[in-house]
Amino acid sequence: MSAGFNATRVPFKGGVEAVTEVMTGRVDFACMGIPSAIGEINEGKLLALAVYSAKRSSALPDVPTTIEAGYPVSDYNYWFGMFVPAKTDRAIVERLRKETQQAMAEPAVIDKLKSQGMEPLVLSPAEFDELIKKEVAANIVLAKAVGIKVN
């Protein structure tokens, strides 16, 4: 939307399939998380044009953000989260949070994630709930702006 062109969304089962379709030329471009394409980018098989995050990726420091490339209001942070059923005992939720936070603080984990273009952001369950609420609200606005209709 920020770039001012129309594109046809092609749904894929995952990043590997999207990478394959771009590399074969059957699809002109794809937007995906860095972990799905970092290997092919590093091998010179794919060209990274921009990252959607608000700041450059530590894994691709020479690749500009979409905002730096001249597309205002185009940042979109791609994140992963851990979810459990809503009725999960709070003691279990707290234990998962604590164990995850400890794992994310390990230098080897941090290094591995950064090499894949990911930076740990460990949030409390309440902070994560707030992030999700903000993301849902922002995506509703975006979907309406580009005319996406719910089935």
Reply yes or no on whether the pLDDT at 151 is more than 70: no
Domain that holds residue 145: 79-151
The average confidence (pLDDT) of the chain is: 89
SS3 of 49-106: the string is: CCECCCCCCCCCCCCCECCCCCCCCCCCCCCCCCCCCCCCCHHHHHHHHHHHHHHHCC
Reply yes or no on whether the pLDDT at 112 is more than 80: yes
Do both 64 and 1 map to the same domain? yes
Do both 5 and 42 map to the same domain? yes
End of a domain among 77, 106, 133?
A: 77
The CATH number given to whatever domain includes residue 23 is 3.40.190.10
Do both 83 and 70 map to the same domain? no
Angstrom distance (rounded) from CA 15 to CA 32: 7
Do both 45 and 108 map to the same domain? no
Do both 30 and 91 map to the same domain? no
Buried b (16+ CB within 10 A) or exposed e, 38-60: bebbeeeebebebbbbeeebebb
End of a domain among 49, 77, 105?
A: 77
Do both 15 and 71 map to the same domain? yes
Instruction: Provide the domain count of the chain.
Output: 2
Do both 12 and 46 map to the same domain? yes
Give the whole-number percent of the chain exceeding pLDDT 70. 99
pLDDT digit string, tens, across residues 16-34: 899 999 999 999 999 888 8
End of a domain among 77, 100, 122?
A: 77
Do both 84 and 151 map to the same domain? yes
What is the DSSP secondary structure assignment for residue 45, as one 8-state letter?
A: S
Confidence of residue 43 (pLDDT cuts 50, 70, 90): very high
pLDDT digit string, tens, across residues 62-110: 999 999 999 988 888 878 888 999 999 999 999 999 999 999 999 999 9
Do both 94 and 136 map to the same domain? yes
The pLDDT assigned to 107 comes to 94
Confidence of residue 42 (pLDDT cuts 50, 70, 90): very high
Question: Which of 54, 58, 3, 62 has the alpha carbon at shortest distance from 29?
Answer: 3
Angstrom distance (rounded) from CA 109 to CA 106: 5
Considering only residues 90 and 5, tell me which one the structure prediction assigns the higher pLDDT: 90
